[in-house]
Amino acid sequence: MAKEAKITEVLWEPLDVEEKDAERIDRPSLTFWQDGWMRLCRNKVAMVSMFYIIFIALGSILIPFFWKYSYEEQDLAMANLPPFMTTYVLDEDTNLYVTPQYSLVELSSGGELRRLVSPVRRDMVQKKNYYTVNDKKVVLDYSHYSKAVLEFRRLEKAAERSGKEEVDIKSAAFLRDWFSNQPSRTTISLEEARQILEKRLERVSLSVEGVPLTQHERLRNRSYLLGTDSLGRDLFIRIVYGARISLTVGVVAALINFMVGVFYGGIAGYLGGRIDNVMMRIVDIISSIPMALYVILIMVVIGPGLVSIILALGLTFWVKMARIVRGQVLTLKQQEFVKAAIVVGADTKRIMNKHLIPNMMGPIMVNIAMQIPSAIFNEAFLSFVGLGISAPMASWGTLCNDALAGIYVYPYQMVFPAIAISTTIFTFNMFSDGLRDAFDPRLRK
């Protein structure tokens, strides 16, 4: 029974123009890369890290072009000068800085280094050095401190003999002077005596025309931003140059890993069967060897240097990449589009390049990003042990190694490269974590 179709007037009314588009997808469809990129942009830590890395990379490329020193330029007279110096004020436009070796450096009152003042006479017995600065006779007297050091050594021995921590003030002149306003005090702990010796006692006294200089001024080293190393090379440009080396090593080694790993893993996964089995057993054996050991052995064979360190890292750290690529290939090759390509008659090379590799770029890229900091880490480690980059080239590991000998006297030479390397590895790790969250589909929620 046909129902009488009743169409009300309302239904005959035309719709609004806007309602026509209600079902249309008006956001542009996103590719895998755009999608991942958007997710990456939302990750603040990863973005900050990315900008830091870009900043370091640009800095390491550009700064050497206009910096006033080159990384290998030596000025032995200006060796081991820290970025901040406590100076003596000689007159309104000259300051004097005494190095830990009791040499005298002349600075402008703004902090620009002028020269290493050569002494007129060195009196080793009286422990006094005589200089002429701006036609004034300057005497540098370090006898008090060196006497105090000797006295302290004696106190140490005495304390060791008696087995007591307390030492007698009377037996050491520097302590007697120090406590001259407290006549009641007779003993002091060895530790406190050491504190007085190392922290409180003036190491030198400087006098001009017989009048002692007392006015101190803390100046920033305007000639060398971060000070100089033991050969008088500018530390700042060496750190910048070290960034070049470290970043080059990181990126190139990761790319070599990528190529070897994709080639090896791709073949193993694609061919499968017995070949796959044998190839993966080899990978198992290689991955059970401590990698640092093999990097070192390869370095021994091909000799130190930038190229060999990159080769050594590239040749040993591809195992993880090979495993990831093999796993990806194994899953991808079962899929219809690969079968279709085989049916159409594409050869293995084309299937690899056009179908498999583009589809597994996500995990591969994440892995590359993760290998960069580990390559930088290993390069620094090798250079630090003395097997990596050697002088006059500078990597951060080399700089830290150079600074190790003088760590107590010139800690700044260690601090700056250490900060550079730690922050760089840290930000690379943060960035690659962000990349993994954004691009590795397995972890997508």
Residues in contact with other proteins by CB under 8 A are 191, 194, 285, 288-290, 292-293, 296-298, 300-301, 373, 377, 380-381, 384-387, 397, 400, 404, 407-408, 411, 414, 418, 421-422, 425-426, 429
Q: Residue 206, Cα to own-chain centre: how many angstroms?
A: 39
Task: Confirm if 382 and 295 have CB atoms less than 8 A apart.
Answer: yes
For residue 435, the minimal CB distance to other proteins (Å) is 16
Q: Which is nearer to other proteins, 368 or 370 (CB)?
A: 370
Q: Which is nearer to other proteins, 138 or 425 (CB)?
A: 425
For residue 379, the minimal CB distance to other proteins (Å) is 10
For residue 302, the minimal CB distance to other proteins (Å) is 9
Task: Confirm if 46 and 433 have CB atoms less than 8 A apart.
Answer: yes
For residue 298, the minimal CB distance to other proteins (Å) is 7
Distance CA 49, CA 368 (A): 16
Q: Which is nearer to other proteins, 300 or 340 (CB)?
A: 300
Q: Which is nearer to other proteins, 1 or 301 (CB)?
A: 301
Can you read off the two tokens belonging to residue 143?
A: 């006898």
Q: Which are the contacts of 408, defined by CB distance < 8 A and separation ≥ 6?
A: none
For residue 389, the minimal CB distance to other proteins (Å) is 15
For residue 83, the minimal CB distance to other proteins (Å) is 17
Alpha carbon of 242 to those of 73, 145, 238, 292, 425: distances in Å?
15, 38, 6, 21, 13
Q: Which is nearer to other proteins, 355 or 436 (CB)?
A: 436
Distance CA 177, CA 110 (A): 35
Which of 59, 222, 388, 424 has its CA nearest to residue 399?
388
Q: Which is nearer to other proteins, 98 or 296 (CB)?
A: 296
Distance CA 250, CA 243 (A): 10
Distance CA 348, CA 333 (A): 11
